[in-house]
Structure 1
């Protein structure tokens, strides 16, 4: 960073670079000039109004009538007044010269002080320029006392870098996992077809089995692509909302899932009216993923309980299921894409995106998720939406969505 206040411009002319250092210097110099001029004016007025600067009066004790006495007294008063005015002009002139000199000195000192004050800013700028997507692990690590404003700025930027680093890592893991999940059915489908082609004289039944197997693999791939598109659209935010009743949404989702409902799992529902503002299709996907996730991971003979209600005027939907015990510290991992607690069971044809979509939809609707281990294993998930008709928060109005809150609950 250049230390000069101007730099060469086009045509050989100099263009003033109004840097923060130059502005601070001009501010320091202007403040000193104004305060100095005010002090000089006050001092000059006090000097002029002092008794020593008043008009000179001569008192004579000679009572004789001398015609030259009045002339002499007038001459002496004139000389004294001229001397006094000359002294005042000299005082004002020299004080003005001193003020100008000290203004220049204060400007130079202001330039030095501004440079020292802004040195941490230059250090942060240089370090920030060296940080890219390949070295997001580096930090500014600004020294200084905890209450220093510049250190707080550096620490805030370090926090931003930490979040960006985590986001880049999550994105890289997501791309790697998505590539693997997309490649697996393609490889399996190709293998099935190659095996069928290499079989000599296959009969119609064998070809039909191969086609059915390839069709099932394609359907699984379609579900994966649809889940990825839903996740991407949910993370993009909700632009159009409408009033909806969570009880009706849950009823519609249960009706759609009725053909695939497991007979070995008991389903209990308690659906009270709960009106919220949201995107119907996305909220249906949220509820469907919660219920579908509960069905996949509930042991035979277990139960699922789905309820809707309003608590303190806030609509919420709650899905509780029995099943394997979920460690409390493992709950946040379930909301990461392609994350599973164990190997995928044969009946659980999920891809590890169900709860990720739930989190994205809840985030887009400024809803809060509270997740706890279930009373008999499994999970107890409650999604609480904002009040219907409530104005968006300051963060939402500014375009930044509220952060998702996933709470493991109190022990």
Structure 2
């Protein structure tokens, strides 16, 4: 049986007519609407991706910020618990040498300085109280003994009164020294031109007139400052040099200008002082020992020198002399350029 070839139907169109399509093909899609749909879908997906990335970024940023700020919170908690009663505690920040550790070490250094200042202040108050209470107790005891003596006469009572006057005079000197120390630590209230050489001459005339032990080398040394405080500085230097000396010893006083700055230098013979103890002598109530091994003076002279020099911005250098005693140099600023510390 012969196969039948399929018939191919071809339909041509004339130029300018619509192409022929099967009847069930449907209408052609609109290219503009299709493009808008794709853009809308892309925008929706981009928004979802952006929202997810933002949420992930916020979460990661929160975690990283919390980890980075955890040492700061720890430092804040420790610093909040530290008061004047436990200044010995420290932040002790560990970890790598970064900005936070450097900040912690800086705060620890500040706490160490505050601890030292508070300890020094407490020691000063305790020592001052002791120094003031001791003569008062002695005076009270002398009065009670004199009154309890039925055989007391005018002569014995007069002797007691003289001893009371001597004790009161020592108290006055101590109180005056405490006030001078307080004024020196407060800073300068006024500033006037002062010649250190003339000031030394006036003090030596009062403290050691015609003393053959004193060798003078007084050149002009003009500075600016509080004349009363500077007089206290020179008086305490001279007084310590005279009091803490040896029989047949010597005292050398020098004023002049070195490297454009007026200087005051005081050296004396005296007992040998260990080098490590020199710095402590400038603390309040630190006394030299006499040849008999007993303390002498009220222990405020060198601390007054340090306080007055600091108020005038004048560094003090001190070291033991080669033959004993001390070699002290105070270097001031010139009268036209000296900068005074403002009072607190």
Q: If the TM-score is normalised by the length of the shorter chain, which range does it land in?
A: 0.7 to 0.9
TM-score by length of 2: 0.84
Counterpart in the other structure of 2:248? 301
Please tell me whether the aligned partners of residues 373 and 379 of structure 1 are also in contact (alpha carbons under 8 angstroms). yes
The question of whether the paired residues in 1 share the 8 Å contact of 2:237 and 2:305 is answered with: yes
Q: Whose RCO is larger (CA < 8 A, sep 6+)?
A: 2
1:167 to 107, 117, 134: 117
2:236/2:302 contact within 8 Å kept = yes
Q: Which residue of 1 aligns with 2:216?
A: 269
Q: Does 2:229 correspond to 1:291?
A: no
SS in 1 for 2:335: coil
Q: Where in structure 2 are the equivalents of 1:4-403 lying within 5 Å?
A: 66=16, 79-80=30-31, 83-84=34-35, 87-88=38-39, 90-145=41-96, 147-258=97-208, 263=211, 266-342=213-289, 350-390=297-337, 392=339
Q: Which has the higher helix share?
A: 1
Q: Contact between 1:344 and 1:350, CA under 8 Å: does it hold in 2?
A: no
Q: Are the counterparts in 1 of residues 289 and 295 from structure 2 also a CA contact under 8 Å?
A: no
Instruction: Please identify the structure whose Cα radius of gyration is greater.
Output: 2
- After superposition, the Cα gap between the structure-2 partners of 1:391 and 1:198, relative to the gap in structure 1 and judged at 3 Å, is closer
Residues 285, 105 of structure 1: alpha-carbon distance in 2 compared, 3 angstrom cutoff: same
SS of the residue aligned with 1:109? Answer: helix
- TM-score, normalised relative to structure 1: 0.71
The Cα offsets for residues 104-159 of structure 1, whole Å up to 9 and x where unpaired, read as: 332232222111111111111111222222222221111112x2111111111111
Segments of 5+ residues of structure 2 without an aligned counterpart are 1-13, 20-27
2:333–2:339 Cα contact (<8 Å) kept: no
Query: RMSD in angstroms over aligned alpha carbons?
Result: 2.8
Q: Deviations over 1:262-292 (max 9, x none)?
A: x5x6101111112222111111111111111
**Number of residues of Structure 1 aligned to a counterpart in Structure 2:** 324
Instruction: Please give the per-residue CA displacement for 1:9-66, whole angstroms capped at 9, x wherever unaligned.
Output: xxxxxxxxxxxxxxxxxxxxxxxxxxxxxxxxxxxxxxxxxxxxxxxxxxxxxxx953
Q: Tell me how far apart the structure 1 counterparts of residues 67 and 118 of structure 2 sit (CA, whole Å).
A: 35
SS of the residue corresponding to residue 205 of structure 2 reads helix
Deviations 1:339-360 (A, max 9, x none): 1243696998511100011111
- The answer to whether the Cα contact below 8 Å between 1:136 and 1:162 also exists between their aligned partners in 2 is yes
